[in-house]
Each structure stands twice: as structure tokens, then as C-alpha cells.
Amino acid sequence: MTNLLVFREQLKKFYSKYELYITPLCKFLLALVSLLVINSRIGYMSTLKNAAVVLILALLCSFLPINLTIVIAAAVTLAHLYAFSVECAIVALAVFLLLFILYFRFSPKDTLAVLLTPICFVLKIPYVMPIAVGLIGTPASCVAVASGVIVYYMLAGMNESASVLNTFDADGMVDDAHRIVKELGANTYVKVPSIPEGFKAMKALAKENINITATAIYTPMQAYLAAKCGASYAAPYVNRIDNMGFNGIQVAKQIHDIFKNNNLKTEVLAASFKNSQQVLELCEYGIGASTIAPDIIEGLVKNQAITSAVDDFVKDFEGLTGAGKTMSDC
């Protein structure tokens, strides 16, 4: 115990001696980590993700009162959300204003708790700050911790919603396509839905020579637009079209004819079959690409006459070479 007290006194003396340097450095590091966490979670504004901008803001925070670090972090958060959605930015602004009123009214000295709580959540150690504040803080400090928790879950929810919305956003589709090609290679055909935002994404990806398969096709016009946007394949859903009361096979044939009559390089990649006869009919028409379930493929070659013929060949061979013999051990 005595050694701990001595160490604490030495630490106090060291801090008092170099306080002029230690305090700005700690504020700089705290601001830097906070900004990096914000950018990693909701980095929708590319300018604010620039390393130079992050360093300048963190450096600015090191010379300002620490409470202003919260204000700057909130401003950066709002800017990112504004770049994504004005509505999200307005909701976040309302939440921040309410939290600021509570924070500056009840626990204005607990800035560390506000900033470190979301960081601890990101680091998967969410209980650190509540326990620490419970041990060394005041009852009012719970306001600061609660503010940090609210901010974390608000941003996590918005980030999750953004991921869903990006699925139907051209820029989000392009980003996903880049990731897919990076992970799986340049020979990968990226599936893009044939919707207005999907057509935008197809045009952008085609300029980069990325292979595209246009999906969710139910009409010939969808396929035509996808082809004009640079898709390599167009995938009509044959059986699903049938279930809608139309003729899926006929739609696939129409798409094939449109491509040929307009000299488009796009090919039909027929999908969603219910039986092997549908596949055969499209093959006869000249459509040579399909995505087929294993049971449908089996139906294309499963035939008792074929099985009997193979058995006869095996018996004839074994009659000449001996039972169980193959060419490798004759």
C-alpha cells in the first residue's frame, strides 16, 4: 500500500511538472480516437474522412476546452449524417440538443465519460465506463454515461439503416460490387437488380469493365434497359413469372429476340425453373445459359434407359476383362 501511495505522489509530481505538454497531448489523442471512430462508423462525407482534416481537428481540440471536443465531435457526426440523409441529420440534431441540455446542466465536468463510453462500446468493453464512473464519479455522472450510450446506439441504428438503404442506392451497389470483385476476382459476375438505381450502378460498373448480371427481371423492357446499361447477362425469373400469371418461357424468348434484333451483346441467363422441360425448351430456342437447381439438372439426365445402357456397357467390359476390372488394372 505504501508503494502505491508513493507511486501516486510521484505520478502527481510528474504530471504537475509536464502538465503543459501532457494535457494537450491527452486531449489530442482523445479527439483523434473519437473522430476516427465516428469516421469508421458513419463516414459518409469523404472530406471529413481525409487524414489531414482529422489531424487538424484533433490538433484544434488539443488547445480548446475539453467540452468543445464534444461539440466538434457532434458537428462532425451531423455533417456525415447530412451527407447521407437530411432527415437523419435533423433527428440527430434534436437528440444532441436534448443531450447537451442535460449534460451541461447536470454533469459538465464529465466530458471523458461522454466521449469514452461510445469508444468502449465500439471496443466491445461497454461496462468499463459505467463501472469506472460508479467508483470515482458522482450520481450526476450517470447523465454523461447515459448520453454516451444513447449516442452510440443512435449511430449504430442509423448505420444499420444506411446499410439497408445502400442496397437500393446506386453508389452503395457500386461500392458492394467493388468489394465483391476485390474478394472474388475480376472474373466474377456481380448481380445488380434491374431497378432505376440498379441501372445507374450498371452504367458506372460497365465503364470499369466489371462483369454484370442483371437480376430480378420480370419484363422484356427491364432486360433491354439492363443490356443498354452494359450488363453481360440478364436473368429473367422463369418460374416466378409463371406464378404471376404470365408465361416465363415466352418472356425469356422475347428477351433473347430483343437482344439479337438490336445487336446487343448481352445474353439471357435464365433462372428460377420448376422442371427440366423448361430448361430444354429454352436450350432449343438458342438460350444457352441458365442457373439450375441440382434436382432440375438431375432431371435432365435421369432416365432408366440411360441407366440400363450404362449397366450393359459395364457388363460387356467385365465379360472381357473380369469382374470389377477397369482400364487402369487390365
Q: Which of 193-202, 210-219, 270-279 has the lowest mean pLDDT?
A: 270-279
| C-alpha cell read off for 277 | 422441360
Residue 315 lies in a domain: no
330 band by pLDDT with thresholds 50, 70 and 90 = low
184 band by pLDDT with thresholds 50, 70 and 90 = very high
Tell me how far apart the alpha carbons of residues 262 and 228 are, in angstroms, rounded to a whole number.
Answer: 10
272 and 251 in contact (C-beta within 8 Å)?
no
Tell me how far apart the alpha carbons of residues 53 and 56 are, in angstroms, rounded to a whole number.
Answer: 5
Average pLDDT, integer, range 63-87: 89
61 band by pLDDT with thresholds 50, 70 and 90 = very high
CA distances from 276 to 11, 243, 279, 305, 310 (A): 79, 17, 5, 17, 22
Annotated active-site residue 200? The verdict is: no
Taking each helix axis as running N to C, give the angle between helix 111-122 and helix 66-84, from 0 to 180 degrees, rounded to the nearest 10. Answer: 50
Do 156 and 242 reside in the same domain of the chain? Answer: no
**pLDDT over 70 (residue 161):** no
Residue 311 lies in a domain: no
Question: Which residues lie below 8 Å from residue 100, measured CB to CB, with a gap of 6+?
Answer: 74
Domain boundary among 166, 185, 200: 166
Quote the domain boundaries for residue 282: 170-305
Nearest to 267 by CA among 255, 280, 283: 255
pLDDT digits (tens, 9 = 90+) for 104-143: 888 888 888 899 999 999 888 988 888 888 888 888 888 8
Residue 326 lies in a domain: no
| C-alpha cell read off for 315 | 457388363
Better pLDDT: 88 or 233: 233
Do 189 and 157 reside in the same domain of the chain? Answer: no
Query: Which CATH number do you get for residue 271?
Result: 3.20.20.70
Do 118 and 70 reside in the same domain of the chain? Answer: yes
> Which member of 27, 182, 191, 203 is catalytic?
191
